[in-house]
Structure 1
């Protein structure tokens, strides 16, 4: 992928997981000069008959943030009410990145368009019962979940501790049900993003 200063996150690492066109995809964007300016990915999780909450209680360590020095023993996942209800075909959405120079792509409304494109692609490929992702608290507080199109958010879902530090990295779980996806995808984008008009 060659994203500057970023490694592929563990959930999408092909050395850790058996990922192929049936259960995962990447979306890439390039600028006018052919330089990579955007990435995002989705994959279907095999949760069996368990809810996402039960699956993540034991498997959250497979979804770490891309930082060094995590203290996995002190880190934890807390399943909210939405995660407890989620069963069936569940798609995980991550690796969202927009590059470019300051003001070139970020803050332009492009994240709303790109996020919805990933939702549409997931609907075409898998028609998932749910799509979810994790978002750092500071990013969620800036309204990124809403700009992206997510209709539900569970604060305090993840708490990642770094070795030798007492303040954790807090993560929100954002998600949508199939009906939410249809609602968002049916909404005219021009009503949400001025550049789409």
Structure 2
């Protein structure tokens, strides 16, 4: 049986990241209504369209199975967003979930185009099973880039994911150029592997080839349970 998340440890972990955001002039909030999230992201200039796995019209998310993070600047304009959802892969794995297109559509037979494809050749993706927290749709406005905002958002998302789900794995997909710049390590992921998703979604106009990155549940627990507040602050 897993140990329950310690609310005090989680609150401290999230608070450090929330304070780091505030120091950069960003006010953070967390929401659960993905219809509202999509309305916000669609009205946000320069942000690409949110992938269907976070859009209720293609992949509804039950209450308690997902959340999103919104960061507003001093003028209440959107500075950054990110989304997370829980996949129950107790009888499957992340590779199968991607290749079946169920990671993107609740019912691929209804919503997927006949030429939609996703190929996952990352060996470790087959080992990612159970309760899997998936993080994606991270966007930071240009004038806030290069300031560590993605790491702040990742920290908040990890704290909330751990508190809500205590997942077996936490994972995401990332373009190779982020790895080339070592951004993936700055995000705090312990593991990454090529061939996570070779994706084509015709009606979404998406053609991507991305790496998979992940943390195990134990690694996430150790990260959130860190007691040295000063050590966390030094990351920003």
Distance 2:102 2:185 in 1: 24
Q: 1:162 to 1:127 in 2, by over 3 A?
A: closer
Is contact 1:52–1:84 with CA below 8 Å preserved after alignment?
A: yes
Q: Which runs of 5+ in 2 are unaligned?
A: 1-39, 106-112
Distance 1:156 1:183 in 2: 28
Distance 2:209 2:233 in 1: 28
Q: Cα offset for 1:57?
A: 2.4
Is 1:4 equivalent to 2:45 in the alignment?
yes
Q: Cα offset for 1:3?
A: 2.1
Q: TM-score, normalised by structure 2?
A: 0.67
Match of 1:67 in 2: none
Paired residues, number: 182
Distance 2:114 2:82 in 1: 25
Q: Cα offset for 1:53?
A: 2.0
Distance 1:38 1:174 in 2: 21
Q: 1:125 to 1:61 in 2, by over 3 A?
A: closer
Which of 177, 188, 192 lines up with 1:138 in the alignment?
A: 177
Is 1:129 equivalent to 2:171 in the alignment?
no
Match of 1:109 in 2: 148
State the secondary structure of the residue aligned to 1:45: strand
Which of 6, 10, 13 lines up with 2:55 in the alignment?
A: 13
Is 1:185 equivalent to 2:224 in the alignment?
yes
Q: TM-score, normalised by structure 1?
A: 0.79
Is 1:157 equivalent to 2:196 in the alignment?
yes
State the secondary structure of the residue aligned to 1:92: strand
Q: Which runs of 5+ in 1 are unaligned?
A: 64-70
Q: 1:190 to 1:171 in 2, by over 3 A?
A: farther
Q: Deviations over 1:6-56 (max 9, x none)?
A: 222111001112214311101000011111101001011133411222222
Is 1:170 equivalent to 2:209 in the alignment?
yes
